[in-house]
Amino acid sequence: MSRHRLPSSEVPGLQVGQRTGSEDNLYLAVLRASEGKKDERDRVQKKTFTKWVNKHLIKAQRHVNDLYEDLRDGHNLISLLEVLSGDTLPREKGRMRFHKLQNVQIALDYLKHRQVKLVNIRNDDIADGNPKLTLGLIWTIILHFQVGVGAMYCGQRRGRRGKDAAL
């Protein structure tokens, strides 16, 4: 029996682009494996970013257990930005959704004021605990405050500034 595959035009009843049962099984297995890797990557990112956030929030006597849940009201996000920047930001005191959205918006507006580029991240994404966009926001903050400061410091020592130092 030949292990070579016949073109679909030579397999009776098989249309061009149509997969056989064994191809479907292989496709599903590859899909499951890639989903598993994506889930693992997201889990590792969440754990790593949570540790990074807590490393800084300890200075404000705050702590995050679940990154997606504990940033939703905006208070921990504002505290993180205050610790990282040394600035004091306003915040809403209430517990209603409006207050949570407003606090997250304060944080996002502050980042925009600092010329941090936020792509497709809205206050309701964070207030709703969207995992992908919450991770994206924290990664953007890390890049700006951790990597950006380091690159700026190294660049100033060599007579270069900002992005030029990072390149």
Q: Tens digit of pLDDT for each residue in 59-88?
A: 999 999 999 999 999 999 999 999 999 999
Residue 162 lies inside a defined structural domain of this protein: no
Residue 121 lies inside a defined structural domain of this protein: yes
Q: Which residues contact 152 (CB under 8 A, 6 or more apart)?
A: 161, 162, 165
Residue 13 lies inside a defined structural domain of this protein: no
Residue 68 lies inside a defined structural domain of this protein: yes
Can you give the pLDDT at residue 35? 77
User: For 118-147, what is the mean pLDDT?
Assistant: 96
**CA distance readout (Å), 63 to 37, 115, 158, 166:** 28, 27, 37, 31
Q: Which residues contact 111 (CB under 8 A, 6 or more apart)?
A: 81, 118, 140, 141, 144
Q: Report the alpha-carbon distance of residue 61 to residue 63 in Å, rounded.
A: 7
pTM of the model: 0.71
Residue 66 lies inside a defined structural domain of this protein: yes
Residue 143 lies inside a defined structural domain of this protein: no
How many domains are there within the chain?
1
**Mean per-residue pLDDT of the chain:** 83
Can you give the pLDDT at residue 167? 41
Asked if residue 137 has pLDDT above 50, the reply is: yes
Asked if residue 126 has pLDDT above 60, the reply is: yes
Q: Report the alpha-carbon distance of residue 52 to residue 45 in Å, rounded.
A: 10
CATH of the domain at 102: 1.10.418.10
Residue 160 lies inside a defined structural domain of this protein: no
Q: Residue 55's domain spans which residues?
A: 47-131
User: For 37-43, what is the mean pLDDT?
Assistant: 89
* 28: Cα separation from own chain's centroid: 27
User: For 140-165, what is the mean pLDDT?
Assistant: 63
Residue 116 lies inside a defined structural domain of this protein: yes
Can you give the pLDDT at residue 67? 98
